DNA sequence: TTTAGCACTCGACTGATGAGAGTGCTAACA
DNA sequence: TGTTAGCACTCTCATCAGTCGAGTGCTAAA
């Protein structure tokens, strides 16, 4: 049905125009487009229809129209055309990747930074959650008489450290012995399970050094409980101000306040089951009242075989979705590659 | 000289009033104060003098007066009265301290959070710089065939991790052996020195496993070079909007942009030689143009015998300096205590 | 079905006006 | 000589009316 096609064509044109200009788009502006050979009056009729169907809103009677959340949803699901990144964009991303950043915190910080730099929206990156990560190595490092640092490395490439007390007289050797024992018996189990395992696995030693094991259990448990405290990196908050929808101070304030609340961000970016699948949350689809005027676009990437980290951008519903998708996809693919390469690639010869 | 005293008394009253109200203060408002028994005309004369002396500014002829940077400097150096924290404030701080947070990153994040919460200004906390921290322990943890995580613990209670390649066939035992060797021979040296020491200390092994040692040197060096990349935690950015001086969007934007730039923040918070000494940087005293309208108040605390971390708040020059000082002092003292206790306290019996 | 025309609506901008707050100056007062 | 009352003056800010322009909806003609 050609008529319907025309409606969608007009709707897409309106959305594109509004994304580009941020001002309500009028019938005349559309009719002047070279690819639309219709008078403004005809466009007005179509727009009137589209408004009735819920795809357009009118801020007030004598303004142009603005796409509704429903329109954006249709747009990202069906209308959006892929855009390509230009060489500069790709270079920026490669620069981060090629830096061979080793520390996880540093990597997510850089991810958020480059993301916000390329999209001009505030961006977030989060490391994988700790609970279901399996323990790979436990090391008790002496830091002072009676004190040690418990370092736990997981298969999600995350590392956790906790200061703890140790019995007097426990030297480097003792700690080393326990490090090996702990690693041997807890390896492969999750942080969540580990505490319970201490009971069954270390019956004898446990009775002997009750307080010591309590400390270890405590350290493990506190790490496990940090689900809501996953490392979060935020970048480009000040980009918010480039978009007219945040010209209102109160609007900007409450948005920044939300962005700062790590618990909320972790929840919003929750990695999706499918890696590399891009998720859109548009305006009113957000649970949070403060976010009803904003959209979130997220993607995730694999870290090793079982874990995923995610990242995304937050902006006005009038977001340049096509470009954001292009950036997220490229960045996600790059990150997956380096993580897969670093953690799993066993075929590669050692010589660098 | 009683006359001079009177001038200072008036100046202090003006500063206090302006800090509280954020509106230029007129002669009448001051003369109505119960502790000042002078007519507005007299105050006007005094104010005129103070303006000539550079302590007061006039936004425009028919507005009240506003303290100058010079006035604030005098205020913090000589006029400010100590304020006490109330029970709620103290409780908030103790809550953070008593949480027994083990991870360094978590602790600085919490510090920044509570600081901004209590002062209503954006706050920053930074961990000690890495360069001059001495190595305490090096642990190579196997994460996959051909890959290991190099974990370095320093005496500044910081820990660094770097992914690196290892020769094929290097198993847990080999890595353990090298961990011990590296720890034994590099312990006590700084990250910066360590690279050079590898050459002299590991002549034989080095020749044997050239590529391996190159990787270790690389990892150490990259950590050392991270001076400008010290972990920084930012809290309460959105508090900026509570203060009328940032009602201007462009003002707020450039300020937030600066706050987000970690390199700049690290530079601004540079720990002072004296721990627990509070440093003020007022308005124009800032090097950075974007900060000329803002003040920074910082404090630092000891971590172990040789290292210091610092934290501070950033706000308008019209800042409630007295309260900020009270919060910083209490928080700094508390942090110094727990760090000293945790890292050094050797007398305390083990039993928790 | 499309289009031209037209009256109507509403926000943004402009300029005038007056109230209010605060000053500086002068002259009188203790 | 220092202090105070009085007064003219200045400048900002809020308000209000008027105008402009963009955009709409409706009607009638092509």
Asked whether the beta carbons of residue B143 and residue A161 sit closer than 8 angstroms, the reply is no
Least confident of A21-35, A127-141, A323-337, B179-193: A127-141
Query: Which range, of A14-23, A44-53, B87-96, B132-141, averages the lowest pLDDT?
Result: B132-141
Distances (CA, A) of A95 to A88, A101, A276, A328, B162: 10, 11, 21, 16, 18
Q: Which nucleotide is nearest to B24 (CA to C1')?
A: C22
Chain D nucleotides covered by protein, CB below 7 Å: 3-6, 9-12, 21-27
- pLDDT score of A129: 65
Is A137 close to B137, i.e. CB distance below 8 A?
A: no
pLDDT for the residue A271:
67
Instruction: Enumerate residues 6+ apart whose C-beta is below 8 A from B5.
Output: none
Helices (H), B202-320: 203-208, 210-224, 249-260, 262-269
Q: Is A294 helix (H, G, I), strand (E, B) or coil?
A: strand
Residues in a beta bridge with B66: B57
Low-confidence ranges of chain B (pLDDT < 50): 1-3, 227-228, 343-352
Averaged pLDDT score across all residues of chain A? 84
pLDDT in tens, A148-193: 878 887 777 677 777 787 888 888 788 888 888 888 888 888 877 8
Provide the 8-state DSSP code for A284.
Answer: G
Chain A residues with beta carbon closer than 8 angstroms to that of B105: 105, 231
pLDDT score for A29: 92
Q: How far is B195 from chain A (nearest CA, A)?
A: 17
Residue A280's nearest CA partner among A325, A246, A336 is A325
pLDDT at A352 over 50: no
Q: Which residues touch strand D (CB under 7 A)?
A: A 24-29, 40-41, 44, 47-48, 51, 58, 61-65; B 37-39, 41-42, 45, 60-63
Per CB-CB distance under 8 Å, the chain B contacts of A247 are: 249
Confidence of residue A205 (pLDDT cuts 50, 70, 90): confident
Tell me which residue in B104, B163, B253 faces A241 most closely, judged by beta carbons: B253
pLDDT at B72: 97
Q: How many CB atoms lie within 10 A of CB A349?
A: 8
Among partner residues A144, A247, A343, which is closest to B147 by beta-carbon distance? A343
Instruction: Give the nucleotide nearest to B23 (CA→C1').
Output: C21
A297 vs B215 pLDDT, higher one: A297
User: What do you get for the CA distance between the two ends of chain B, in Å?
Assistant: 60
Residue with tokens 């002829």: B61
pLDDT at A317 over 80: yes
Q: Tally the C-alpha atoms within 13 A of residue B249's C-alpha that lie toward its C-beta.
A: 14
Contacts A227 to B, Cβ<8 Å: none
Q: How far apart are CA B229 and CA B199, in angstroms?
A: 27
- What six digits make up the tokens of A317? 């519903």
Lowest pLDDT segment from A36-40, A86-90, B201-205: B201-205
B211:A345 CB<8 A:
no
DSSP, res B22: -
Mark yes or no for CB contact B241/A252 under 8 Å: yes
CA distance A323 to A86: 11
Asked if residue A270 lies in contact with residue A311, where contact means CB atoms within 8 angstroms, the answer is no
- Give the CA-to-C1' distance from B64 to D14 in angstroms: 19
d(C-alpha A246, C-alpha B184), whole Å: 57
Measure the CA dihedral B123/B293/B59/B319, to 10°.
30
Contact at CB, B102 and A161, closer than 8 angstroms: yes
pLDDT at res. A283: 93
The count of CB pairs under 8 A between chains A and B is 153
The verdict on a CB contact (< 8 Å) between B260 and A249 is: no
Residue B234 class from Cβ within 10 Å (0-12 exposed, 13-18 middle, 19+ buried)?
buried
Yes or no, beta carbons of B238 and A256 under 8 Å apart: yes
A236/B260 CB distance under 8 A: yes
Res A131: pLDDT: 59
Element spanning B103, H or E: none
CB B217 within 8 A of CB B202: no
pLDDT at A340: 63
User: What global pTM score does this model have?
Assistant: 0.86
Q: What is the pLDDT of residue B180?
A: 84
Mean pLDDT along residues A216-245? 79
Instruction: Give B248's contacts in chain A (Cβ within 8 Å).
Output: none
Q: How far is A60 from chain B (nearest CA, A)?
A: 26
Which bases of chain C are contacted by protein, using any atom under 7 A from a CB? 2-5, 8-11, 20-26
- Expressed in angstroms, the distance from the first to the final Cα of chain A is 60
Q: To which residue do tokens 């961000």 refer?
A: A265
The predicted pLDDT at position B205 comes to: 74
What is the distance of C-alpha B261 from the center of its chain? Answer: 14
If you measure CA to CA, which chain A residue comes closest to B153?
A141
The alpha carbon of residue A246 is apart from the nearest alpha carbon of chain B, in Å, by 9
Of the partner residues A145, A153, A157, the one whose CB lies closest to the CB of residue B346: A145
- What pLDDT does residue A287 have? 92
- Separation between the CA of B42 and the C1’ of D2 (whole angstroms): 9
| Coil/strand/helix, residue A121 | coil
């Amino acid at each position: 049905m050609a008529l319907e096609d025309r409606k969608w064509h007009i709707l897409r044109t309106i959305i594109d125009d509004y994304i580009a200009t941020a001002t309500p788009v009028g019938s005349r502006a559309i009719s002047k487009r070279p690819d639309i050979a219709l008078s403004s009056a005809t466009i007005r009729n179509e727009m009137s229809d589209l408004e009735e169907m819920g795809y357009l809103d009118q801020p007030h009677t004598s303004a142009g129209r603005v796409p509704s959340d429903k329109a954006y949803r249709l747009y990202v699901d069906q209308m959006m055309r892929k855009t390509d990144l230009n060489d500069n964009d790709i270079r920026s991303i490669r620069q981060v990747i090629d830096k061979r950043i080793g520390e996880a915190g540093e990597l997510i910080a850089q991810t958020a930074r480059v993301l916000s730099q390329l999209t001009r929206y505030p961006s977030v990156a989060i490391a994988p959650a700790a609970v279901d990560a399996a323990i790979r190595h436990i090391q008790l490092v002496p830091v002072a008489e009676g004190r040690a640092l418990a370092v736990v490395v997981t298969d999600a490439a995350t590392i956790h450290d906790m200061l703890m007390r140790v019995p007097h007289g426990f030297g480097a050797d003792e700690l080393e012995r326990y490090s090996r024992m702990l690693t041997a018996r807890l390896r492969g189990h999750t942080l969540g399970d580990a505490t319970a395992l201490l009971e069954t696995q270390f019956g004898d030693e446990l009775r002997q050094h009750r307080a010591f094991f309590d400390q270890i259990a405590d350290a493990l448990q506190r790490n496990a409980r940090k689900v809501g405290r996953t490392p979060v990196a935020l970048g480009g908050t000040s980009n918010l101000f480039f978009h007219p929808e945040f010209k209102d101070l109160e609007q900007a304030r409450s948005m920044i306040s939300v962005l700062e609340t790590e618990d909320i961000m972790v929840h919003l970016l929750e990695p999706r089951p499918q890696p590399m699948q891009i998720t859109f949350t548009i305006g009113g689809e957000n649970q949070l009242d403060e976010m009803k005027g904003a959209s979130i676009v997220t993607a995730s990437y694999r870290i090793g075989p079982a874990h995923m980290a995610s990242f995304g951008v937050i902006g006005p519903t009038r977001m340049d979705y096509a470009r954001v998708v292009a950036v997220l996809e490229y960045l996600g693919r790059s990150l997956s590659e380096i993580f897969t390469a670093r953690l799993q690639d066993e075929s590669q010869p050692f010589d660098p």
